[in-house]
Amino acid sequence: MTDTTPETTDWTRVRYDVPVERVARITLARPEAANAQDYLMLTELNQAFDRAIADEDIRVIVLAADGKHFSSGHDLGEINPDMDALPTIGTQCHFDAPGAEGYMAREAEMYIGLCWRWRNLSKPTIASVQGKVIAGGLMLVWPMDLIVCSDDATFSDPVVALGVNGHEYFVHPYEAGARLAKDMLFTGRAIGAHEALQHGMVNRVVARDDLESETLALASHIARRPMFGLTLAKQSVNNSQEAMGMYTALQSAFGLHHVAHSHNRLKFDGWFIDPEGPQIIRDEA
C-alpha cells in the first residue's frame, strides 16, 4: 500500500506520532469540543489509520484523545457537509439525493462504512479512553481490538431518546452483551469503567494518571510478536464474530435506524430525530 495521506501537519482534528518503537498513536485533537466528530475528523482519522497500516515499522495502533473526555459523539451542529470535498472510501453514492436515499448513503459511508473498515484493519488496535464516551464516541472505541480506560471513563448511547434504535454502528449486543445492551439503550444511562470491565466491554481499568503509560506498555508488549501472527489472530477472532452474524445484524439494525430517521422526518416536519429527545438527554446528564 502506498502512503498517500497528507502530511501530519495538514490534519487539524487528529495528531499522529510514534511514541514507542513499533507503535503508532493517533490522538483526537479537538478537546475544546470534547472531541465531537465532524466529517473532517472522521476523514482525517481514516487517513491516519491508513498511514499506520502502510508503515512497515508499525505493528500496533493506539487511538487516544486529548482533553477531559474521549468523545461526545457526532458533531450535531454540522448539517449536511459537502461530501464532494471529502475523499470517500466506500461504494456509496448520491449523497445529496432527496428522501431516504442521500442521508442513508451518507451514514453508510461516514459511519458504519468507516467503523467496519477500522474494525478490520490488519494490525491490532487499542483504544485509550478517559472521561465521557457518548453515542458516536462508542463508534470509535468499539471498532478497536482492545480497550484500556481510566477509572473515570463512562460509556453511554442515549439516542433512543431521539427516536432511533441506537447509534449507527449497532454492535451493542456483541460488545456489551444482550442484557446490558438493552439496559444502556432503554435507560440511556452511562455505565462506568468497572461495570464495563465486569461485562467484558473493556480490557483494563487504570488510574487516570497511568492511562498513557499502561496503554503504551500493553502496545509494546503486543508489538514484540510477529506482524503476521497478530494479523491472523485478529482476523480469526473477527471471523468468529461474523460467524455469529455480526455483519448481518449490523446491516439489519442500520436498516431499522433509517426506518426511524424516515419516520421522524415524516412526523416532525423534516427532523431526522424526535425534537424533544435532546432535552430528555440534557435533563438526565
Interface residues with Zn ion (CB under 5 A) are: 107
Measured from the CB of residue 165, what is the shortest distance to Zn ion in angstroms?
Answer: 10
The amino acid sitting at 136 is G
Q: Give the bridge partners for 155, in sequence order.
A: 133, 191
Measured from the CB of residue 258, what is the shortest distance to Zn ion in angstroms?
Answer: 7
Measured from the CB of residue 247, what is the shortest distance to Zn ion in angstroms?
Answer: 18
Measured from the CB of residue 136, what is the shortest distance to Zn ion in angstroms?
Answer: 9
| CB nearer to Zn ion: pick between 107 and 145 | 107
3, 61, 76, 130 alpha-carbon torsion, rounded to 10°? -150
- Look at residues 190, 173, 174 and name the one whose alpha carbon lies nearest to residue 182: 173
Radius of gyration of the chain (CA): 18
| CB nearer to Zn ion: pick between 119 and 258 | 258
Q: Contact at 8 Å (CB) between 129 and 148?
A: yes
| CB nearer to Zn ion: pick between 58 and 110 | 110
Measured from the CB of residue 257, what is the shortest distance to Zn ion in angstroms?
Answer: 6
Measured from the CB of residue 122, what is the shortest distance to Zn ion in angstroms?
Answer: 28
Report the distance separating Cα 166 and Cα 91, nearest Å: 24
Give the 3-state secondary structure of 85-134. Answer: HCCCCCCCCCCCCCHHHHHHHHHHHHHHHHHHHHHCCCCCEEEEECCEEE
Measured from the CB of residue 80, what is the shortest distance to Zn ion in angstroms?
Answer: 13
Helices and strands (H, E) in the chain, number of each type: 11, 9
Q: What angle do CA 133, 42, 57 make, to 5 degrees?
A: 95
Q: Contact at 8 Å (CB) between 177 and 163?
A: no
Measured from the CB of residue 169, what is the shortest distance to Zn ion in angstroms?
Answer: 10
Report the distance separating Cα 69 and Cα 5, nearest Å: 27
Q: Give the bridge partners for 125, in sequence order.
A: 61
Q: Contact at 8 Å (CB) between 12 and 40?
A: yes
